Structure 1
């Protein structure tokens, strides 16, 4: 194809691609509201149902455990055959579980409903990561915007839960289904745009817009996964207990806890966008490694520095943990270019939720000693992630030429 013709094809397809990323990012936000809502609901379960730290953290475990098991299975399914219909369906399932979790007083039913929500979230992430990868053509900035959507969903969830449940109690939880209804509708035009883009690309048959023939680098992917698991333990531990910790640290009451969650999630949103920008100047592995090293100090500040100054460290720790977020997704997909669904599902979903498995252990330690003592081990998590990323190679991009970086929506 002549250069001028290919350039006009790129120019004509860029706005739809950006619209697709925007819609996918909004849909991602609508789904990840329900990941953030689990932690945001915990203080209300404690207040209304007198749960202990360990019992309340068991709710986080229920949402995380099934999600952790189901996520690789959905990733393997999408590697065999694209399943775009999973996006609207899984969004509704994720919302329905959280919407029902506040009804009744049964602890068993609460665990069941949040587990159903976790399965919905698990089904969403592998296929959405694959579709976003296609829509972005492997661009770091575009993928960071897609990931940003999820971060904003996390950030919005404490305010949404406080607005709905804080004023009306847990019996008002069915109203939390509204974001799922919106997200399931918004993802439909995004899927149509991506499908048209794939058809146009296939018709153009440009050789640089196909998947690479490089072999899967399973060893590097395994090390990356270990690093992201440690990151997940740190972030999930903070998101589960930071509200209790800041209430104790500041003495300002429940609003201090809600504010801490908002700062935590908004810091993650800033870190996600920053990570995409930094990856345009430095290789992804270097950006991820340095971010984790700086995050060790930030997490130490969260745990050990008392009073309002703790909010600054919460923001820094969250940003530091999220700078690597979208970069790890594209790294994983480039390490496993023939299994991008599995790679995206594990890094975007499994290793985000697997940290919930550690939450009950933190809760038990907090009940036995103090909450601050229980949070101290979290300081070591980003250090272990830094060690896992030491020496990892920077893989070649698996999709599209380097100049095909999609612009921000």
Structure 2
């Protein structure tokens, strides 16, 4: 499990790297809001399309080699993103990174569930690994690109190359342990899984919308240059990573479905606060938003796998992959609203999404596990 948690951190570091790269692309290449949002789409579009396919394939036949390969491609794509002034080539490099993320998640989630031997705690740690990696994305990207500019982007691929090599060496033992673990099977509940998918997509659109534009917004709100914006991303993703573990604790006491419902109710005023609260206090609203959006994160994964106990790869591919990455497709809408009015109105448009998640979550039932 430690190998999978660390690998998930390295892989998702490159999802967190994308919103941190965007401000540097805007600064050096004068991208518009829509063009900046298009970079986020590059990281999510291809990933969204192929991720269900990877899930179905890994349900039929284990493919452990996808774990290090996906991780490596995720890093190489980000590493190539700063080397060309061509928007198309930059877009394709980010898309390659998204493909790597898509290849990684379904098989890694399937292996993690087996290794965890049906433990929600183990899966929570696996989810935390991804959130920690996401939080570290800006920490890695900002100093490298602030010092060397986009020309230094190949250095960003180093963690993936090292992590992919180490995972390849360790994977034989991980796969052996995974084969020994069994998960109790039951009836697949596609209706509840579909409702959960709506929840995750809505949550993901908020997260990607904030991830794409939060640094730009906070920089203009409080001043301080790119460092102020990067600090907001660290608060969002760092507090989010910590909140993922909190979600496991709260779920043990109150139940997963109830925690989801309350979290998304809290997210409504929190997201509005990000757009409306002036000055440095915006960091407090960012932190509250992170708690509300990330407390349910690991619960999505275990609920999804319990709704589809016979299709762990598919469930993992959707809850950790498709439903998460497809949220990036909403970023151009925020960018378009910001272009017509202003960025504050673009961020305010995100408030409707936690409302959608809350409404959908009210129809969820706790799965019956056998």
TM-score with structure 1 setting the length: 0.88
The runs of 5 or more residues in structure 2 that have no matched partner are none
Matched, 1:121 2:101: yes
Match of 1:219 in 2: 191
Structure 1 residues 135-146: aligned runs within 5 Å = 135-146=115-126
CA displacement at 1:165 relative to structure 2? 1.0
| One of 281, 287, 304 as aligned partner of 1:315 | 287
Matched, 1:260 2:228: no
4+ long deviations beyond 4 Å: 198-201
Match of 1:330 in 2: 302
Q: Distance in 2 between matches of 1:315 and 1:348?
A: 22
CA RMSD of aligned residues (A): 1.4
Match of 1:290 in 2: 262
What whole-Å deviation, never above 9, does each CA across 1:356-377 have from its counterpart, x for those lacking one? 1111111111111110011112
SS of the residue corresponding to residue 64 of structure 2 reads: coil
CA displacement at 1:188 relative to structure 2? 3.6
Structure 1 residues 340-379: aligned runs within 5 Å = 340-379=312-351
**Please, which moves more after superposition, 189-198 or 254-263?**
189-198
SS of the residue corresponding to residue 279 of structure 2 reads: coil
SS of the residue corresponding to residue 138 of structure 1 reads: coil
Structure 1 residues 84-123: aligned runs within 5 Å = 84-123=64-103
SS of the residue corresponding to residue 103 of structure 1 reads: coil
Q: Are the equivalent residues in 2 in contact too, given 1:138–1:397 (CA < 8 A)? A: no
Q: Are the equivalent residues in 2 in contact too, given 1:99–1:176 (CA < 8 A)? A: yes
Q: Distance in 1 between matches of 2:321 and 2:271?
A: 22
CA displacement at 1:210 relative to structure 2? 4.4
Match of 1:405 in 2: none
Q: Distance in 1 between matches of 2:183 and 2:128?
A: 26
Match of 1:274 in 2: 246
CA displacement at 1:397 relative to structure 2? 3.8
CA displacement at 1:342 relative to structure 2? 0.7
Q: Are the equivalent residues in 1 in contact too, given 2:263–2:295 (CA < 8 A)? A: yes
Q: Distance in 2 between matches of 1:359 and 1:198?
A: 37
Q: Distance in 1 between matches of 2:364 and 2:170?
A: 34
Structure 1 residues 15-26: aligned runs within 5 Å = 21-26=1-6
TM-score with structure 2 setting the length: 0.97
| One of 93, 110, 114 as aligned partner of 1:134 | 114
Match of 1:61 in 2: 41
| One of 168, 177, 180 as aligned partner of 1:197 | 177
Q: Are the equivalent residues in 2 in contact too, given 1:57–1:240 (CA < 8 A)? A: yes
Q: Are the equivalent residues in 2 in contact too, given 1:30–1:182 (CA < 8 A)? A: no
CA displacement at 1:191 relative to structure 2? 3.0
Match of 1:10 in 2: none
Q: Distance in 2 between matches of 1:272 and 1:296?
A: 19
Aligned length: 370
Q: Are the equivalent residues in 1 in contact too, given 2:78–2:156 (CA < 8 A)? A: yes
Matched, 1:381 2:353: yes
SS of the residue corresponding to residue 104 of structure 1 reads: coil
SS of the residue corresponding to residue 335 of structure 2 reads: helix
| One of 65, 70, 75 as aligned partner of 2:55 | 75
Q: Are the equivalent residues in 2 in contact too, given 1:134–1:194 (CA < 8 A)? A: no
Match of 1:206 in 2: none
Q: Are the equivalent residues in 2 in contact too, given 1:140–1:280 (CA < 8 A)? A: no
CA displacement at 1:270 relative to structure 2? 1.1
Q: Distance in 1 between matches of 2:175 and 2:16?
A: 30
CA displacement at 1:221 relative to structure 2? 0.4
Q: Distance in 1 between matches of 2:290 and 2:70?
A: 27
Q: Distance in 2 between matches of 1:200 and 1:127?
A: 16
Q: Are the equivalent residues in 1 in contact too, given 2:184–2:369 (CA < 8 A)? A: no
Higher Rg? 1
CA displacement at 1:198 relative to structure 2? 4.4
Q: Are the equivalent residues in 2 in contact too, given 1:33–1:156 (CA < 8 A)? A: yes
CA displacement at 1:199 relative to structure 2? 5.6
Q: Distance in 1 between matches of 2:369 and 2:113?
A: 11
Q: Distance in 1 between matches of 2:45 and 2:34?
A: 15
